[in-house]
Amino acid sequence: MARHHPDLIFCRKQPGIAIGRLCEKCDGKCVICDSLVRPKKLVRICDECNYGSYQGRCIICGGKGVSDAYYCEECTMQQKDRDGCPKIVNLGQARIDLFYERKKYGLNNG
């Protein structure tokens, strides 16, 4: 299980229309606090987190997405759903490097 860790960094960009997804392992978890109870609000992620091969990926661990991601009731109440795109961006440095590679070569301009 990918347990949330203080080092984890959320993307926080302006969410678009894309719905966050979770893999089999992370299914049912709140994307912010890992709670498994009271899923409340559907998660929306930013366009960049749904770009190309990221599309349909688990926003917690990057695995194959099988279900929609939700914020739990508590995080919704604390308005953590308004903090922006909740995808974890520093899971593996390699993925971030890849992202910047793309930017550098101008392939990320949609």
List interacting residues with Zn ion (CB under 5 A).
11, 13, 23, 25-26, 30, 32-33, 35, 46, 49, 58, 60-61, 63, 72, 75, 85, 87
Q: Which of 93, 18, 92, 84 is nearest to 56 (CA)?
A: 18
Nearer to Zn ion, 23 or 43 (CB): 23
Min. distance of Cβ 98 from Zn ion in angstroms? 15
Task: Indicate the residue among 43 and 75 with the shorter CB distance to Zn ion.
Answer: 75
Q: Which amino acid is at 11?
A: C
Question: Where does residue 43 rank: exposed (0-12), middle (13-18), buried (19+ CB within 10 A)?
Answer: buried
Residue 80 CB, nearest approach to Zn ion (Å):
7
Closest contact distance (angstroms) between CB of 19 and Zn ion is 12
Nearest to 58 by CA among 93, 83, 95: 95
Shortest reach from residue 60's CB to Zn ion, in Å: 5
Helix (H) or strand (E) holding 102: helix 93-104
C-beta of 1 vs 94, nearer to Zn ion: 1
